[in-house]
Amino acid sequence: MRERVLPVLIVVLAIVTLWYVACLPMNIREVLTEAERAGALVTPSTAIERRDAGAIALVLSNSDHLARSWSQERAKLPAPHQVAIEIWDSTIGEEVYGRRGIVQSGSFSNRSLVYHTGITLWATVLGFVIGTGLGVLLAVGIVHSRTMDMSVMPWAIVSQTIPIVALAPMIIVVLYSVGVQGMFPKAVISAYLSFFPVVVGMVKGLRSPDAMQLDLLRTYSASPMEALFKLRLPASVPYLFASLKIGIAASLVGAIVGELPVQKGGLGARMLAGSYYGQTSQIWAALFAAATLAAVLVFAIGAMERRTLRRMGVAG
Amino acid sequence: MIPLSLALVVWAAGWALNARLANGPLSNTRLGQMAVPAIFGLTVLVMWELVVRGLNVPQVILPAPSAIGAAFGANVNVLWADFVQTILKGGLSGYVMGCGAALCIAVLVDRFDFLRRGLLPVGSFMAALPIVGTAPILVMWYGFGWQSKAAVVVLMVFFPMLVNTVAGLGDTSAMQRDLMRTYGAGYWQTLWKLRLPAALPFIFNGLKISTTLALIGAIVAEFFGSPTVGLGFRISTSVGQLALDVVWAAILVAALAGSAFYGVVTLAERGLTFWHPSQRAQKTNGTMRPGKTNRRQRQISKEV
């Protein structure tokens, strides 16, 4: 355990240190402008000279003013602790202590990350379930019909090489114009992003039983239906979980991108709002919320995979 | 009603033709394997056209393929500028930088065991995250031009590429490395002559995954801010103007660029890893009996 955790911790620590160091050149210009306005002496004394100077040179020649780099209100690169404070404020702070929070008003505050993460989560999960279900159905069809296999499968593979997420804004706006709005349009995007990986993975999985096993079932005079449920579907489970992990990550990206055109809550809307108003720590907080959400979702599927495979006796 | 029933007839005819081809003697030839998906695609296009005309679907909901083709033809110059801006400047430069950086870091990670144990778990964790969310931050840092898009692409392709390359560099057997040692080969010689070539199938796997990610990154980053040119810009503004035919034309460009990009990488793979069983089996497909090579190939594709 120690051998595995220690290097990871050191790497994470190195990243955080690097982040703090990077704050210096990233924020130096704003820091110096602020210091000059407050009456302090900064080394190239005019703004024009500072504009032409390099960020690192500015850092080196103004070592007394650097401390402010980590406490800028709208920093170009907020320091890790600023992001942590923003995350705390917009989750626990807002929900527990805020006037709109769940403790005092009974419903999640629409300013809190919990609320926005929830919106994204439901769209992701709904889309993921739809996409996975349809994907499995199509895969079963492909395995059983040679016509379907030869007609559809090449397109399913080609579709993985094209950026289908480009369709997202159009789907949102078109569905909005026919009166469908809210969670469903985002779920549609999530669904088609998770659909193709599942189809490709499931076809591979359903085909994974070898000729000997299929022949055995034939000697039992098993019908195609029985072969599907007793051999092909169980054999495809490891492949299914591998593509589910890809699918859920794709679904989350779909939901976030789907939230960009219509600003009605969600992590994507939060990021775009942050970038409109220069609230960098809000963007970073939303980014970390999205990362946590992705990690939790992938981990949940991994846990399901381990449990299922252990019960099936596939993995020891 | 006539176009609608015609659509059903076209569907039935296309499907019947495909069923015939797929279950007939042609199905194992290259011609058959190309013709069936082509007929299917064509059938869908014709049905789309007929249904849109038959139901009088408004242009702002779903334009007919012919309208999309017309929009494509009318906007060739604009779309070409968008292609250069998004795919060549944003996507390709970021792809080259990101994949190149990942290759170098992968060699380092492979050289130092500490980095492998520390950086690799972080890398595979990052590979699963929605990195496209960094787009607003990077657009703020590097401005609206293609540089910010390239930066998003670098971040998106870096981690999948890193994880794949490190896996590939570890793919030599102890016997092969021992052989190199008996030749008196040093670290760099072993790397160049044995381990990098052996890693190529994995590296190409990473490169192929990265082609799609690069285009996604370049297009989505434009939704957060762009100059008045670019595929993402074209899509989001034309959606706003309800000019859906232009949107579809832009998506067509993205799709063609994505397939071409992937195709070029696949061709390069075929040229460089011709020795690999999965490539050899493809070339002699049809004459090969399920035997040694196929079993090896199956094993490898499972590993990959």
CA geometry: angle at B36 spanning A138 and B304, to 5°?
Answer: 55
C-beta atoms of B136 and A272 within 8 A: yes
- ipTM attached to this prediction: 0.83
Q: Could you tell me the pLDDT band of residue B148, with boundaries at 50, 70 and 90?
A: very high
Amino acid at A205: G
Chain A CB contacts of B31 below 8 Å:
none
Q: Whole-model pTM above 0.95?
A: no
CA distances from A84 to A118, A288, B128 (A): 20, 9, 22
Amino acid at A239: Y
pLDDT per residue as tens digits for the range A157-197: 888 888 888 888 888 888 887 887 778 888 998 998 899 88
Cβ atoms of residues A251 and A187 within 8 Å? no
Surface of B (225-254) touching A: CB under 8 A: 225, 231-232, 235-236, 239-240, 242, 244, 247-248, 250-251, 254
Q: Is residue B52 part of a domain?
A: yes
3 state SS of A71: coil
Query: What domain count does chain B have?
Result: 2
| A27, A165, A262, best to mutate vs chain B, most B CBs in 10 Å | A165
In this predicted structure, what is the pLDDT of residue B294?
Answer: 43
Write the secondary structure of chain B as one string of H (helix), E (strand) and C (coil).
Answer: CHHHHHHHHHHHHHHHHHHHHHHCHHHHCHHHHHHHHHHHHHHHHHHHHHHHHHCCCCCCCCCCHHHHHHHHHHCHHHHHHHHHHHHHHHHHHHHHHHHHHHHHHHHHHHHCHHHHHHHHHHHHHHHCCCHHHHHHHHHHHHCCCHHHHHHHHHHHHHHHHHHHHHHHHCCCCHHHHHHHHHCCCCHHHHHHHHHHHHHHHHHHHHHHHHHHHHHHHHHHHHHCCCCCCCHHHHHHHHHHCCCHHHHHHHHHHHHHHHHHHHHHHHHHHHHHCCCCHHHHHHHCCCCCCCCHHHHHHHHHHHHC
Residues B129 and B155 in one domain: yes
Q: Residue B215 maps to which CATH number?
A: 1.10.3720.10
Residues B227 and B256 in one domain: yes
pLDDT at residue A258 greater than cutoff 90: no
Residues B102 and B205 in one domain: yes
Give me the mean pLDDT over the B270-277 stretch: 84
The domain defined by A113-312 folds into MetI-like fold (1.10.3720)
pLDDT at residue A289 greater than cutoff 70: yes
Q: Is residue B48 part of a domain?
A: yes
Domain range list for chain A: 2-71, 113-312
C-beta atoms of A271 and B259 within 8 A: no
CB-nearest to A260 from B23, B215, B223 is B223
Cβ atoms of residues B275 and B256 within 8 Å? no
Residues B95 and B38 in one domain: no
pLDDT per residue as tens digits for the range B9-30: 888 888 888 888 888 887 778 8
Residues B126 and B263 in one domain: yes
Q: Could you tell me the pLDDT band of residue A30, with boundaries at 50, 70 and 90?
A: confident
Token duo for residue B295: 């079993």
d(CA A277, CA A257): 19
User: Which residues, 6 or more positions from B66, have their beta carbon under 8 angstroms from its beta carbon?
Assistant: B49
Residues B151 and B38 in one domain: no
Give the domain extent around B97: 73-273
d(CA B168, CA B103): 11
Q: Is residue B67 part of a domain?
A: no
